[in-house]
């Protein structure tokens, strides 16, 4: 199904006043399209960031704002066009200026976190095109669905470090669960920055397809050391699993079915290979464990046999306490059936 564009508005950006006008009008445009107030405000911030890049790096340029439609889905496209020297002029502006205070940060990193798609392309003649898209996400009806999975995580930093270079995310949609383990390359502040950059992107996009999630996380990590990552979605209706992994996050499964999950070499944000998500079906009675390389691999299921009927969080904590290495960050995630 093709994407239709319409109602395009073009803004010349050559001074701060024109940037402010574009920001205000795009906020109204977004509200008219059906975006919620908070998202309309974030889209206005995207315009402010793109306009700032034009003024800072090139001096002037244009913002093209269009209405999108793909079937019954609606959205907005914001495109920045300039006649400058191209991508090299942006320097480190893709660095994600994330803030622990909850602000949006600065630069293209914050745009990447807000938008669903972000592309940087050569201009038609010269210069740079930055194309960002955001779709209106309307969760489906749950029809009284209850999550059938119990997901628990235990994590701790390198014993000599104050911050954790590992991270994780567990979220639920209307009919699915998303779970992810992230390990920033190395440990300490640089690993923490990489892992939190990936997590911040995933936090706002976990309902998107797996390939898109990894691509967005890679953009978020582009100015960091990068990270390794394993993620899966679990469909509550069909019990189907969509799984993807780049790097050395281990996964082990005990249960009635043998799984062969594929791990691709590479680093999210640096050397990420192309891939397609792996599709499997969750069998009742399955116990799945994902863990970072701060966990010893020389363990057996028998060591934890007395915990199989315990909540996943208790199993994860027990495994972390027993198996964590003393020279790295460590994370264990456990997924099992929820007790009825």
Residue 309: band (very low, low, confident or very high) from pLDDT cuts 50, 70, 90: very high
Say if CB 91 and CB 106 are below 8 A apart. Answer: no
39-64: string of b/e by CB count within 10 Å (b at 16+)? bbebbbbbbbbbbbbbbebbeebbbb
At 43-52, the pLDDT tens digits run 999 999 999 8
Structure-block tokens of residue 133: 């898209």
The pLDDT of 298-316, averaged and rounded, is 95
Strand boundaries in the chain, DSSP class E? 4-13, 61-70, 73-81, 117-122, 128-135, 149-156, 166-172, 176-184, 227-235, 240-246, 250-254, 278-281, 287-291, 330-337
Is residue 148 over pLDDT 90? yes
Say if CB 320 and CB 330 are below 8 A apart. Answer: yes
pTM exceeding the 0.85 threshold for the entire prediction: no
Say if CB 145 and CB 236 are below 8 A apart. Answer: yes
Average pLDDT, the chain: 88
The pLDDT of 182-201, averaged and rounded, is 94
Is residue 178 over pLDDT 80? yes
Is residue 340 over pLDDT 80? no
Report the length, in residues, of the chain: 340
Strand boundaries in 57-187, DSSP class E? 61-70, 73-81, 117-122, 128-135, 149-156, 166-172, 176-184
pLDDT score for 87: 61
The pLDDT of 224-231, averaged and rounded, is 95
Q: Residue 13 belongs to what H/E stretch? A: strand 4-13
At 254-283, the pLDDT tens digits run 999 889 898 899 999 988 888 889 999 999
- SS3 assignment, position 330: strand
């Amino acid at each position: 199904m093709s994407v239709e564009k319409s109602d395009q508005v073009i803004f010349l950006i050559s001074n701060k006043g024109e940037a402010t006008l574009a920001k205000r009008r795009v906020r109204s445009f977004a509200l008219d399209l059906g975006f919620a107030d908070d998202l309309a405000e974030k889209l206005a911030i995207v315009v402010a960031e793109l306009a700032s890049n034009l003024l800072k790096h090139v001096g002037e340029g244009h913002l093209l704002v269009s209405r999108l439609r793909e079937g019954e889905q609606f959205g907005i496209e914001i495109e920045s066009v300039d006649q400058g020297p191209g991508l090299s002029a942006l320097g480190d502006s893709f660095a994600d200026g994330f803030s622990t205070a909850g602000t949006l940060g600065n630069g293209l990193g914050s745009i990447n976190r807000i938008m669903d798609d972000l592309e940087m392309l050569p201009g038609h003649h010269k210069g740079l095109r930055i194309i960002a898209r955001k779709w209106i996400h309307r969760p489906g009806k749950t029809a009284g669905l209850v999550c059938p999975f119990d997901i628990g995580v235990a994590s701790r930093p390198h014993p000599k470090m104050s911050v954790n270079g590992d991270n994780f995310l567990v979220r639920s949609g209307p009919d699915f669960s998303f779970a992810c383990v992230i390990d920033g390359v190395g440990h300490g502040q640089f690993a923490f920055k990489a892992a939190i950059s990936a997590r911040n992107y995933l936090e706002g996009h976990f309902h998107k397809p797996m390939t898109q999630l990894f691509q967005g996380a890679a953009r978020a990590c582009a100015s960091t050391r990068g990270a390794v990552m394993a993620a899966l979605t679990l469909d509550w209706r069909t019990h189907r699993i969509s799984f993807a992994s780049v790097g050395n996050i281990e996964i082990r499964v005990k249960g009635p079915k043998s799984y062969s999950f594929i791990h691709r070499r590479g680093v999210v944000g640096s050397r990420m290979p192309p891939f397609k998500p792996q599709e499997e079906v969750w069998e009742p009675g399955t116990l799945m464990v994902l863990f970072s390389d701060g966990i010893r691999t020389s363990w057996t299921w028998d060591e934890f046999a007395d915990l199989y009927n315990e909540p996943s969080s208790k199993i994860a904590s027990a495994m972390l306490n027993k198996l964590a290495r003393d020279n790295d960050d460590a994370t264990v995630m456990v997924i099992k059936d929820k007790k009825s």
